[in-house]
Amino acid sequence: MADAEQTHETIDAMSWESRRFPPPVEFARHALVADTSMYDEAAEDDEGFWARQAADLVTWATPWTTICNWDLPYATWFVGGQLNVAYNCLDRHVEAGLGHRVAFHWEGEPGDRRTITYADLLDEVQRFANVLRGLGVQRGDRVNIYLPMVPEAAVAMLACARIGAAHSVVFGGFSSHSLADRINDAEAKVLVTADGGYRRGEVFPLKPAADEALTSTPSIEHVVVVRRGGNEVTMVDGRDHWYHDLIAAADPVCPAEPMDSEQLLYLLYTSGTTGKPKGIMHTSGGYLVQAAFTHKFVFDLHPETDVYWCTADVGWVTGHSYIVYGPLANGATSVMYEGVPNFPGNDRFWSIIEQYGVTKFYTAPTAIRTFMKWGDAEPAKHDLSSLKVLGSVGEPINPEAWMWYHEHIGGGRCPVVDTWWQTETGAMMISPLPGATTTKPGSATFPLPGISAELVDDHGQPIRHGGGYLTLTRPWPSMMRGIWGDPDRYLRTYWSQYPGRYFAGDGAKLDDDGYLWLLGRVDDVMNVSGHRISTTEVESSLVAHPAVAEAAVVGANDATTGQAIIAYVILRSGATVDEQALRTHVGQDIGNIAKPKTIYFTPDLPKTRSGKIMRRLLRDVAEGRNLGDTTTLADSSVVAELQRRAGEAPSED
């Protein structure tokens, strides 16, 4: 980690450390947890603690025989136990007489609405589970899901869980190329997609992108297409089927069969430090326990009265754990919204909160900073007095954004829970409990009960104060079970840096009171608007363009998106291409989220004498910092030239 960055952060944070927000007395009075007893209980016996949560929060068809089997780097949880995840999310609530409870208040971007009760959802999931079976999907098979934010995404996921197939959801913003890579890695049999969806007032086509992917995905036997956008699509006879036709003809009963606790629930692809995305594996029992536990206690859930809204897309892990599995396991009522926050106006989110009386709200710092830019007047137009807890996830939240969120959205009365976790951890790991934890703006505070986190220095020695690398020292129920098809990479990436520890890839520091402050990634992963993108992936895409000889990509600090993608490109001799064409190329190759914000064309890149690109220098140039030591640089004039170009180049917004 760059020293300069740490010092800067330390100074920044120190000026805020005097601000503390104890849980409001009135809030704590009604909170599920208002003291430290849960932490004490877990500290005494973490496995026993998780076993009690598993018994309280999940219904098991067969009890487990062993709580946790830990054979580093592999853990299995609730071994011998059997459950059905869809049964836990649906049937048991309907059996308890809660079939009329709303599972999702769904709102489309154009303003159309659907109210979906637990009974409705159970009915549709059973039908779709039978549809999948009819298309040849069996326990252990993989199903790819490439959908906009429509309720059918949750239906498809739960239908897979019901029959023991694993889903692999690919965010609808990814390109056909990215979709094809993920389908092929998972060898999925069926693809569930849509004609299109709404975004910023227009229909964006999905099926044409899926069609392009399908030219190179031999494992796919059938494609199910949800009608949403109403846009023209081509259907291939025998392969492509309309969702509504299949559902109408499906048998309405599909009993939930018990699955092994370690049955693969899903794969979710995420970027790492190399070009190839990793298929993160999550299984059933432990994952559901921790998703339900964290959703219940971090949001202080009172399912009878709460209206909960997580603004993530189901294509990311936040959507998996906190739109689908956690909330449904807890019998919560959620809002699900299809579109962007600024259609038709910049107050769309606040109007939704007012409309549905949202009580618990979960969003990302990048969104909060954007709302800040749009101005205080937007939330002020609406009655947000229903809100009780505000959550943040995806990247470090800067104290200014935290304070704005607290004041302008939470009216100064709602605890803010800054939740740190990862696709790999499956569920929240470090976060306040809103009725028990005194928060500090910008700090994720402490590991949750049952979670063991420690900072270490370069030598793997624990640090009790100051900056270090964030590691996890004990297995946790929702931890990833591996990387699909690549056990070596799993061991290498997460468990080899510091023996006996899971290394998360993040830097953090501990203050005088033992509060954790997350400092961002310390590896070659960028965090753009809360989305992980690997520098290598963007570099590979750039050099795949015929005009490009070499490329180096760095994430530079950005006031709105956290980090922005900055690329330095050397063209092949005689070749020409403009910046916009290269940006479009990356957008088509990976997806629009991976488009560099700025591309600098350069005749050379700063390299060490051994030929390694000096990314730290490139980041310094991109962020306009004075350069430190360049003595290891092979040719120091390269940097002077880059700085000159950085001063001249216009930035793309």
For the chain, the residue count is 653
440 neighbors 515 (Cβ within 8 angstroms): yes
β-bridge mates for residue 68, sequence order: 77
Is 427 near ligand PRX (CB under 6 A)?
no
3-state DSSP assignment of residue 120: helix
HSE-up of residue 108 (Cα within 13 Å, Cβ side): 15
Query: Within positions 270 to 289, which residues make up the interface with ligand PRX, using CB under 6 A?
Result: 270
- Of 379 and 394, the one with the shorter C-beta distance to ligand PRX is 394
Least separation, in Å, of the C-beta of 479 and ligand PRX? 13
Least separation, in Å, of the C-beta of 234 and ligand PRX? 33
Q: Give the span between the Cα atoms of 119 and 113, in whole angstroms.
A: 18
- Considering only 40-48, 494-502, 514-522, 625-633, which stretch makes contact with ligand PRX by CB under 6 A? 514-522
Backbone angles phi, psi at 640, to 5 degrees: -60, -40
Least separation, in Å, of the C-beta of 25 and ligand PRX? 26
- Of 219 and 422, the one with the shorter C-beta distance to ligand PRX is 422
**In 66-221, alpha helices (H):** 85-86, 92-93, 118-134, 151-163, 176-186, 207-214
Is 527 near ligand PRX (CB under 6 A)?
yes
- Of 532 and 583, the one with the shorter C-beta distance to ligand PRX is 532
**Residue 112: enclosing H or E segment and its boundaries?**
none
CA distances to 61, 306, 431, 572 from 92, rounded to whole Å, are 12, 19, 29, 62
Sole binder of ligand PRX in the list 186, 504, 586, 617 (CB under 6 A) = 504
- Of 189 and 320, the one with the shorter C-beta distance to ligand PRX is 320
- Considering only 107-115, 165-173, 413-421, 478-486, which stretch makes contact with ligand PRX by CB under 6 A? 413-421
Q: Burial, 543: exposed, middle or buried (Cβ in 10 Å; 0-12, 13-18, 19+)? A: middle
Give the pairing type, strands 360-363 and 113-117: unpaired
Query: Within positions 314 to 373, which residues make up the interface with ligand PRX, using CB under 6 A?
Result: 317-318
- Considering only 141-149, 200-208, 389-397, 490-498, which stretch makes contact with ligand PRX by CB under 6 A? 389-397
77 neighbors 87 (Cβ within 8 angstroms): no
3-state DSSP assignment of residue 205: strand
Backbone angles phi, psi at 456, to 5 degrees: -130, 160
- Considering only 85-93, 110-118, 348-356, 504-512, which stretch makes contact with ligand PRX by CB under 6 A? 504-512
Is 178 near ligand PRX (CB under 6 A)?
no
Least separation, in Å, of the C-beta of 453 and ligand PRX? 12
Is 558 near ligand PRX (CB under 6 A)?
no
Is 437 near ligand PRX (CB under 6 A)?
no
Q: Give the span between the Cα atoms of 281 and 268, in whole angstroms.
A: 7
Least separation, in Å, of the C-beta of 178 and ligand PRX? 15
Is 420 near ligand PRX (CB under 6 A)?
yes
- Considering only 15-23, 53-61, 379-387, 513-521, which stretch makes contact with ligand PRX by CB under 6 A? 513-521
Angle, CA 425 vertex, CA 291 and CA 292 arms, to 5°:
5
Where does this chain bind ligand PRX (CB under 6 A)? 270, 317-318, 393-396, 418-423, 444, 504-506, 518, 520-521, 527, 532
